[in-house]
Structure 1
Amino acid sequence: MPAPSVTVRMYDVGFGDAFLTTVKRDDQAWRMLVDCGVHSQGKARPLLDVVHAIIADLTEAAAPGTPPTLDVVVATHHHADHITGFAYDDWEKVRVGEVWVPFVEDDSDDDARVLKSGLARAARSLNALIGRAAAALNDEARTLALGVASALALNSLGNEDAMDRLLGRNGKHFFNVPKVRYLPDKFAQLNVIRTSVPGVNVHVLGPSRDPDQLKRMNPPASARWLALQQALDAESASGSAGDQTPAKPLFDGIFSVTPDDVTRDIGIELVSALATLNLKTLLDDANELLAAASILERSVNNTSVFLVLDVVGTRLVFVGDSQQGAWEHVLQDPSARALVSDPAFYKIGHHGSHNATPRDYVTNAIGNHGTYAMLPYGKVEQWGDIPNENLLAAFTAMNAHIVRADAPVADARVHVGPDNLWCEITFPAN
């Protein structure tokens, strides 16, 4: 029996994720779609065009007279830039075997219910506060800060229509109503999932079920990709210490997010994270709200499904938008670290953000064997530091091939579709 091959096709949605993975062996094929969404401020093209392209690709691969089919749909986490494409009714044409979502979406899981309700309550409360604050401002810079805060809060709410389809609720569904897995399972042995192709398995490594790891978002200063961060922090602290003129509040204290407000209105889940911020050094209430929205955004990132597809020894690593705590959960476990080491493929986390791919992983685990690292990215003006150039340079130093959705370059292994709608890599299994 010949060895299987695996192809990863990355669709260019902009600032968002959509990856179709196909494993083939003889006449057998197994297909997994990881995410389908885009951020409202970073679209490369209408998202419906991408949805149509994915379904057209699946239709072409289907046997005549049968519906387009996916064996698995993975929604790594409920941020809009990862799931909002599933809101379109076009998915009713597609048969799906299973849907995989993080355990926090399981309403029958007590821990998940508390965490999810707290995050949703935080997003709604922040968005309400932001709206009231914006009405009191006529300053362009601070209005921009509130605009970014609002976008983060809305992204954290996700998209209910999309989640309804993924979970088969409220009349939303695919061609069928597929089985839903909430991952990782509490029983460790169920986190190694066999596919229909012999020798091809999926290892689910995250998210962590430890609340402390879910809250841990930023790496220590020594491990950050932003090499100048410490100097900037020191400069900021020095400047604020020398300023003897107290800042005048922009608007009434009712609009300010304080730790007490967080406890009462937003949820205890964010209190410890907010405590790590020195809110007194922030410039104004607009930036307080932006900081709180950023905390919320990153907390949801750490709930990402983190998985490794093992195709007879060729390993492909998909991490969603996992940040520091989620990575610590993986890298501190020897067996999990071995699975993510020396991969053939790595989906660069969180669009190349400085706090999503640990320095330790790139320099000590990813290896120097020509890993292909795909970067799902579209420009968002407010986030000029994404993708982080230090991170990309470190990948290059480790002989990795970076394939960017916004500027793909074809080579012997990388193929680019018309109008850069997609690019793909095919790996023969070892």
Structure 2
Amino acid sequence: MNLYAYQVGFGDCFLLQFCYDAEEKTRRHVLVDFGTTGTPEGDANALMLKIAEDIRDKCGDDGLDAVVATHRHADHISGFATKTNGKGSGDVIRGLKPKVVLQPWTEDLSLATHATGPVPKGLRGVAGSVRAVAALGAMHGLAEQVTTLAAKRGKSLPLGLAERLDFLGRDNTKNLPAVENLARMGKAGTAVYAHFGTDDPFKAVLPGVKTHVLGPPTPEQHPGVQKQRSTDDDQFWHFQARGAGTANLVAGNQRGPFDASYVDAKRGKLPRDARWAARHITASRGNQLLGIVTMLDKVMNNTSLILLMEVGGKRLLFPGDAQIENWSYALDQPDAQALLADVDLYKVGHHGSLNATPKSLWKAFKKRGNAARKDRMTSVLSTMADKHGSVDKRTEVPRRTLVDALKHDTHFHSTQELTGGQPYTMVRIDF
């Protein structure tokens, strides 16, 4: 297998090219995610179009056998967006006519409360799943309102806070053109909406490859994901009940508590002795919104697919952005534990976030080791520093301690280390 990890900045885009003969003439292609929210070139549309064209060239007449959108974050699906002139990056990918489009169960539009389409077997009539998907829609509404607030009132917020709110808000908005294009591609081929334990979604298109779906779980499989423990703010359904109300609250108060229209004295300006308090209260409001939208970010990450492929005696792990609450269910299942222990290739979760590579998962990898180890595992990271998290709070992405461990214990490849305009790093896995 040739794995092409494209330089998309802060995002993921991996083309898997399975070769079935020595001359590499018989091939199958799988695209895992295609998005960005921060590019080294500045022009995201131009970059994604260039990458889409390179993917088309590599696939040739074979086209795409499968497309995987691990979850709805913009940094994983923005490239699937189309343009009205038919010349968008998503148009190029759709032209490759993927036979299978795989997404998490949360993306099945028929699960929404207003939908009339059929519900997949196994989730039919499941109230918890329907409520969870509806809550995600409310979260998107909140993310859009936060993005608008950051754009309109950014100057009133502390340095860097408006940019952080804007980044997280945009990443969590609905990305409607991309979502619709994925749905159209799925309708033209075969759409699969998967959860833990879903049968091999690629059985018909990837001979010799067995794909296990290890996440995300449904609320019915793992009821704990719907609850918020008082000591754990990483639970991924935290805002299920409150998302809509919070979005309406933000939308209805765009002006903020110290808008000029509320102040009678000094031509709409606060008295000098009140400005210090106003500035700190406004900053506090911004920090509260940052906390809320950060929680929403974790929610969406924990709807991410976790895929493990077995081929030729080796195991390849692609967890998207799955974080701890998603992982906890798989890590409690004995069969999944056995599969994960012998991983040969690890696509590093969530661009190097520490929460996306739980210590229990890392310690369970049997093939970690120094450069002298013959069967040493390989890791591949797609990331861009200074876009997510904080060094001061030890939440920066990529997390330095994790990167150091990956470099020491695996054959490490990172898009961040590409130089000279290289479009991708290629990793070859021989079976």
Same fold (TM over 0.5): yes
Q: Which residue of 2 aligns with 1:270?
A: none
**Is 1:10 aligned to 2:17, yes or no?**
no
3-state SS, counterpart of residue 99 of structure 2: strand
| CA distances 1:60-81 after superposition (whole Å, capped 9, x unpaired) | 543xxx4x51100000000000
Match of 2:271 in 1: none
1:354 is displaced (CA, Å) by: 1.8
Larger deviation, residues 302-311 vs 19-28? 19-28
Structural mapping, 1:227-242, within 5 Å? none
* CA shift in 2, pair 1:332/1:216, >3 Å: farther
Partner of 2:64: 70
Deviation per residue, 1:32-73 (Å, 9 max, x gap): 0000000147767634434433433433543xxx4x511000
1:306 aligns with 2:301: no
Preserved contact between residue 16 and residue 29 of structure 2 (Cα < 8 Å): yes
Secondary structure at 2:75 match in 1: helix
Distance 2:13 2:35 in 1: 7
Residues 56 and 93 of structure 2 are in contact (CA less than 8 Å); yes or no, is this contact kept in structure 1?
A: no
Quote the offset at 1:204 in angstroms.
1.0
Per-residue CA deviations over 1:96-129 (Å, capped at 9, x if unaligned) read 1110011011133354443233122223235425
Distance in 2 separating the partners of 1:113 and 1:405: 37
Residues 195-223 of structure 1 deviation map (CA, whole Å, 9 limit, x = unaligned)? 545421111111111365546899x99xx
Residues 1:189 and 1:73: Cα distance change in structure 2 (over 3 Å): closer
Output one character per residue of 1:256-312: Cα deviation in whole Å (capped at 9) or x when no partner.
Answer: xx9997573459xxxxxxxxxxxxxx9711100000000001100000111011112
Which residue number in structure 2 is paired with residue 128 of structure 1?
A: 145
Distance 1:133 1:76 in 2: 27
Once the two structures are superposed, what CA deviation does each residue of 1:169-200 show, in whole Å capped at 9, x if it has no partner? xxxx59x8221000027xx4624642545421
The letter for the 2-side match of 1:155 is D
> Which TM-score applies when normalising by structure 1?
0.73
Three-state SS of the structure 1 residue aligned to 2:158 is helix
Counterpart selection for 1:145 from 147, 156, 161: 161
Q: Supply the distance in 2 between the matched residues of 1:344 and 1:322 (Cα, whole angstroms).
A: 19
Look up the match of 2:333: 333
Corresponding residue number in structure 1 for 2:214: 205
Aligned position for 1:390: 401
Map 1:361-380 to 2 at 5 A: 361-368=361-368, 369-380=375-386
**Residue in structure 2 matched with residue 360 of structure 1 by the alignment:** 360
Taking every aligned residue pair, what percent have the same amino acid on both sides? 26
Q: What is the aligned partner in structure 2 of residue 55 from structure 1?
A: 53
Amino acid across the alignment from 2:421: D
Q: Is the 8 A contact 2:138 2:244 kept in 1?
A: no
Task: Describe the shift of the 1:364–1:140 C-alpha distance in structure 2 as closer, same or farther (beyond 3 A).
Answer: same
Distance 1:259 1:94 in 2: 37
Contact residue 324 and residue 358 of structure 2 kept, 8 A = yes
Q: Distance in 1 between matches of 2:291 and 2:144?
A: 13
Equivalent residue, structure 2, for 1:82: 76
Among 404, 413, 417, the alignment partner of 1:407 is 417
Q: Distance in 1 between matches of 2:388 and 2:243?
A: 26
Indicate conservation of the 8 Å contact 1:125/1:265, yes or no: yes
Query: Any conservation in 1 of the 2:36–2:44 contact (CA below 8 Å)?
Result: no
1:353–1:212 distance in 2 versus 1, CA, 3 Å: farther
SS of the residue 1:419 aligns to:
coil
Contact 1:146–1:287 under 8 Å retained in 2? no
- Alignment pair present for 1:343 and 2:331: no
Q: 1:332 to 1:44 in 2, by over 3 A?
A: farther
Partners of 1:22 and 1:361 lie apart in 2 by 27
Alpha-carbon distance, 1:139 to partner: 4.0
Per the alignment, residue 265 of structure 2 pairs with none
- Contact kept, 8 Å, 1:199 with 1:312, in 2: the verdict is yes
Structure 2: segments with no counterpart, 5+ residues: 82-87, 112-126, 233-238, 249-281, 369-374, 391-395
**1:292–1:52 distance in 2 versus 1, CA, 3 Å:** same
Would you say the 8 A contact 2:154–2:162 is kept in 1?
no
Pick one of 25, 33, 36 that aligns with 1:35: 33
Match of 1:94 in 2: 96
Change (3 A) 1:150 1:408: closer
CA contact (8 A) 1:44 1:378 kept: no
Aligned to 1:164: 180
Describe the SS at the equivalent of 1:23: strand
SS in 2 for 1:340: helix
C-alpha separation in 1, matches of 2:201 and 2:59: 27
Distance 1:283 1:138 in 2: 11
Instruction: Give the aligned residue type for 1:379.
Output: A
Q: Distance in 2 between matches of 1:216 and 1:365?
A: 29
Q: Which residue of 2 aligns with 1:319?
A: 319
Determine if contact 1:206/1:307 at 8 Å carries over to the other structure. Answer: yes
Label 1:375 to 1:129 Cα distance change in 2 as closer, same or farther (>3 A).
closer
Superposition TM-score, scaled by structure 2 size: 0.73
In structure 2, do the counterparts of structure 1 residues 306 and 261 end up closer, same or farther at CA, with 3 Å as the change threshold?
Answer: closer
The alpha-carbon distance between structure 1 residues 366 and 292, as it changes in their structure 2 partners (threshold 3 A), is farther
- How far residue 130 of structure 1 moved from its aligned partner, in angstroms, is 6.1
- Tell me the equivalent position of 1:290: 290
1:422 and 1:138, CA in 2 relative to 1: closer, same or farther beyond 3 A? closer
2:64 counterpart SS class = strand
